[in-house]
């Protein structure tokens, strides 16, 4: 019994030392974020980061995972996950992480779509680093920062319009402040929001501006000049974004 008691005491002492060194090791972790590099992939804007983890602790880091949560005010936009990775005790590793805002995932949310199409805003990003020491003691690090979002139709403005024959001519200006290329069409709706006509597709290159006249052939039997609406259709790769951009009357 005495030998068992001594063995038990040694076991608890060993576990206590392990936990203590693991907790202390957590205070010796440093991380640096380099980049970012902004790219596009199909319908997504991708922010690529290189995150350097410095493990100054006594134990290897395992199950290292990066998670980023992106919000526009209180609206969640996306969650991006990278890993799991590992970093040896006393070592450093440069690990990649990609933050994605995929328009295909938000196309059904009218509020988010309208904001990201028409407004240059700052997105709130929370970076969470989850890890474990020696597969046992888990810890979590967190950092918050903001990222500027360039709208696809920033500053959209109708500065004149007229109907010539059966064609609605709309003078518009806006900027594509995003890194995405897309095609757009402008659709005219009548006072009951019924379809009256739509323009031919036009290409917008990344970081470019448009100022000119868009011609919309009208079905005059359905046209209501006293009150009508203008809707933009944006085609980004395989995704269509639909946003009401202007109204008259």
What b/e sequence results for 161-174 when a residue is b if at least 16 CB atoms lie within 10 Å of its CB, and e otherwise?
beeeeeebebebeb
- Residue 74: pLDDT band with limits 50, 70, 90: confident
Q: What is the CA radius of gyration of the chain?
A: 27
Residue 13 has pLDDT above 80, yes or no: no
Question: In 3-state terms, what secondary structure has residue 1?
Answer: coil
Average pLDDT over the chain, rounded to an integer? 84
> Where, residue-wise, is CATH 2.60.40.10 in the chain?
2-149, 154-248
**CA-CA distance, 231 to 227, in Å (whole number)?**
14
| CB neighbourhood size of 245 (10 A) | 20
DSSP string, 27-85: TTEEEEEEEEEEEEETTEEEEEEEEEEEE-SSS-EEEEEEEEEEEETTEEEEEEEEEEE
Strand ranges for the chain from DSSP E:
29-41, 44-55, 61-72, 75-87, 92-102, 121-133, 137-149, 154-164, 167-176, 182-189, 195-198, 202-204, 208-217, 228-236, 239-248
> Residue 180 gets which letter from DSSP?
-
pLDDT at residue 103 in the model:
86
Stretch among 16-30, 134-148, 172-186 having the lowest mean pLDDT: 16-30
Task: Write down the CATH number for the domain with range 2-149.
Answer: 2.60.40.10
Stretch among 58-62, 115-119, 142-146, 158-162 having the lowest mean pLDDT: 58-62
Residue 42 has pLDDT above 80, yes or no: yes
What is the mean predicted confidence (pLDDT) over 45-69? 83
Stretch among 80-94, 152-166, 170-184, 201-215 having the lowest mean pLDDT: 80-94
What is the mean predicted confidence (pLDDT) over 203-216? 97
Alpha carbon 137 to its chain's center:
32
Alpha carbon 47 to its chain's center:
8
Per-residue pLDDT tens digits for 24-39: 444 456 777 776 788 8
Question: In 3-state terms, what secondary structure has residue 177?
Answer: coil
pLDDT at residue 58 in the model:
66
Q: What percent of the chain has pLDDT over 90?
A: 45
Residue 68 has pLDDT above 50, yes or no: yes
Task: Write down the CATH number for the domain with range 154-248.
Answer: 2.60.40.10
Give the containing element (helix H, strand E) for 119.
none
């Amino acid at each position: 019994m005495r030998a068992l008691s001594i063995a038990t005491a040694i076991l608890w002492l060993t576990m206590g030392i392990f936990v203590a060194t693991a907790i202390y090791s957590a205070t010796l972790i440093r991380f640096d974020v380099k980049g970012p590099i902004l790219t596009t992939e199909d319908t997504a804007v991708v922010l690529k980061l290189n995150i350097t983890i410095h493990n100054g602790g006594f134990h290897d880091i395992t199950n290292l995972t990066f998670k980023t949560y992106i919000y526009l005010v209180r609206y969640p936009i996306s969650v991006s996950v990278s890993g799991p990775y590992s970093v040896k005790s006393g070592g450093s590793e440069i690990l990649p992480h990609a933050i994605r805002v995929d328009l295909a995932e938000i196309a059904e949310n009218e509020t988010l779509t309208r904001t990201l199409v028409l407004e240059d805003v700052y997105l709130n990003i929370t970076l969470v680093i989850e890890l474990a020491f020696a597969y046992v003691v888990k810890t979590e690090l967190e950092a918050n920062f903001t990222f500027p979002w360039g709208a696809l139709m920033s500053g959209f403005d109708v500065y004149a319009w007229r109907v010539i024959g059966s064609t609605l001519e709309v003078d518009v200006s806006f900027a594509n402040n995003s890194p995405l290329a897309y095609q757009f069409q402008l659709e005219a709706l009548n006072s009951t929001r019924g379809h009256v006509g739509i323009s031919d597709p036009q290409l917008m290159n990344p970081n470019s501006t448009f100022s000119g006249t868009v011609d919309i052939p009208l079905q005059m039997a359905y046209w209501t000049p006293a009150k009508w609406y203008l809707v933009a259709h944006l085609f980004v790769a395989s995704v269509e974004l639909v946003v009401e951009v202007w109204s008259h009357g």
